[in-house]
Amino acid sequence: MKKTVVNPRTGKFLSYYKPYTRLLVTDLAGALTVSAITIGLPLLARTITKDILQGKLPEPLNQIYMIGAVMLGLVAIHTVCNMFVAYQGHTMGTLMESDMRAELFEHYQKLSFSYYDDEHIGQLMTRITGDTFAMGELFHHGPEDILISSLNFLGAFVILININVSLTLIVMLFLPVMAVYAFHFNKKMKRTMRNTKDRIGDINAKVEESLAGIRVVTSFTNEHMERTRFALENSRLVESRKAEIASQTLFGEGLIGFTQLMSVAVLVFGGIAIVKASLDLADLLTFMLYIGILIEPIRRFGNFTRLYQEGMTGFDRFMEALEVEPDIVDKADATELAMVRGNIEFRNVSFRYKEDHDLVLKHIDLNIAPSEYIALVGVSGSGKTTLCSLIPRFYDVTDGHILVDGADVRDIRLSSLRRNIGIVQQDVYLFPGTVADNIRYGKRDASTSEVIEAAKQANAHEFVMALPDGYDTDIGQRGVKLSGGQKQRLSIARVFLKNPPVIIFDEATSALDNESEKAVQDSLEKLANNRTTLVIAHRLSTVRNAQRIVVLTDNGIDEQGTHEELIALNGAYASLYKMQLRI
């Protein structure tokens, strides 16, 4: 017997219902009640028009009053159930949408830097907002529309065929034609909706890129260029939306046209049947009521198809992101770092960013003793930042090994490895919020006194206290209300708070003025005390006191030694140093 294979994505889609099974059951129970009342009401109307008014039942007025009261009660129940279904369904869809957003956001946190090197933030944002919203609508409306449409259609069909077989068969002749029509435009809708989702991601990426760099845009007076670029993406979105609207219009309005033809056919052939005395007026009126019920599932099907295509297009994009496996993961037997001394060793390390790229680092051998202060220097592109990025495993080596206290970094838990490394970058990232919030990012449960002490060690306390609200001052988006030196000292303060045994400074003073550089340099030297320290230096004057200076070139490590030793060699370092003295 052949085993049925379930598409993994189908199983994944259905799994989001599991936590809300009870909510789904109550929602469908309400939908079932709505459907039953919808089918039953025309039968009660038929009782009035056919049995009572034709004198088949005694006391017609009492019967009409009684049936009217029953119908009134059913309408009330129908309304309440519709409200219940709308609220419960939307609540369920919102909760499931929230679960998917949380899952995708958590997955984003696990992905390696190599993934973000190639992705636009706008596209990632669209997946976590617009795509999940479309899925939430499908999660909600899908089961309801399928249940109500199926029951209404089957119920109406059974009743119609009992009223008049010939008229029912005429109605059924329309259905195969409608199915072929729907299938054709359904495929077009799927393609155009995918294009629209991609264009929305592109325009979000363009907006994010332009607004994030708004100060650069205005300083170069390139607003017109940015408007032109935006207009291009905007026009592409308009074209894809027009194609999507066209396919939706042809699909939806075409089905409505078929249903109107169905009603015309019933009236014409029903009128002929009345003339021929094979159908009475009461049955024709009932038939028309049920045609309305029969048409409603077709309209629901059209709406469901649109939601399905939007939702599944979003789900495909959602799964494309979710199925990306992180490049950097813990081994099953990964260990914790304990009592870290800070010995770092590079053994024949080579690295390239992608398989088809050239090697950025070639055969690096370097042993850094615990608490040693190492400076990495070299021309731009020689691999200084890349070398340091390999230690916390932001990327994995292509060949060779990196060891911390004798353990290969690939055998250490990522959280343990990164917890013991502090990084101060040239491009400081501060989060919206207060000064204290940003310093406390280095240790989330730090007390106020710990935050202040870290700021003092980073030479930041004095300028913080001069701010309008001190440590409670809001620093704006990415710290725009602070100077470069102030932002850098806050980033150093949060590393002080983290208190790691290994420190990496990535050209932390290259963009600062002399006064800010001196304040930051003093902070760095305090932070480096009794810690293994790697400093990536652009200004060679800042690393003259390093215990060892390592000179990187395209071919690997070219020279290493103290400042005086390297000057005496009169090689690559001496050339760089003399060049900076002339500038």
Q: Is the pTM of this model over 0.75?
A: no
**Is the same domain home to 444 and 311?**
no
Structural domain of 491: 432-499
Helix (H, G, I), strand (E, B) or coil at 145: helix
In a domain, 181, yes or no: yes
Q: Do 318 and 437 sit in the same domain of this protein?
A: no
| Structural domain contains residue 403 | no
Does residue 427 fall inside a structural domain? no
Residues 124 and 266 in one domain: yes
Q: Of 269, 304, 322, which residue constitutes the final position of a domain? A: 322
Q: Do 163 and 309 fall within a single domain? A: yes
Distance, in Å, from the CA atom of 139 to the CA atom of 142, rounded to the nearest integer, reads 6
Q: What is the CATH number of the domain that holds 107?
A: 1.20.1560.10
Instruction: Answer whether residue 535 is part of any domain.
Output: no
Total tally of structural domains belonging to the chain: 2
Is residue 274 assigned to a domain?
yes
Instruction: Please tell me the number of Cα atoms within 13 Å of 40 on its side-chain side.
Output: 15
**Residue 382 belongs to some domain of the structure:** no
Residue 350 lies in a domain: no
- Final residue of a structural domain among 322, 341, 374: 322
Final residue of a structural domain among 306, 322, 338:
322
pLDDT tens, N- to C-terminus, the chain (583 residues): 444 445 677 788 888 888 999 988 998 898 888 888 888 877 777 676 665 555 565 666 777 778 788 888 888 988 898 888 888 888 888 888 889 888 888 888 888 888 887 777 777 887 888 788 888 888 877 888 888 888 888 888 888 788 778 888 888 888 788 778 877 777 777 788 778 878 877 887 777 777 666 656 665 567 787 788 888 888 888 888 888 888 878 877 787 788 778 778 877 887 787 777 777 777 777 777 777 777 777 777 767 777 787 788 888 888 888 888 888 888 889 999 888 899 999 999 999 988 878 888 989 999 999 999 999 988 888 888 889 999 999 899 999 999 999 999 999 999 899 889 888 887 777 888 888 988 888 888 889 999 898 888 888 888 889 988 888 988 877 777 788 778 888 888 888 888 889 999 887 665 555 666 677 777 777 777 888 989 887 777 777 778 899 999 888 899 999 888 888 898 888 888 887 776 5
Tell me whether residue 257 is in a domain.
yes
Q: Are residues 300 and 449 in the same domain?
A: no
3-state DSSP assignment of residue 58 = coil
Give the span between the Cα atoms of 200 and 186, in whole angstroms.
21
Residue 202: CB partners within 8 Å, gap ≥ 6? 120, 122, 123, 233, 236, 237
Sheet of 532-536: strand order equals 421-425, 502-506, 532-536, 373-377, 548-553, 556-561
| 508, amino acid identity | A
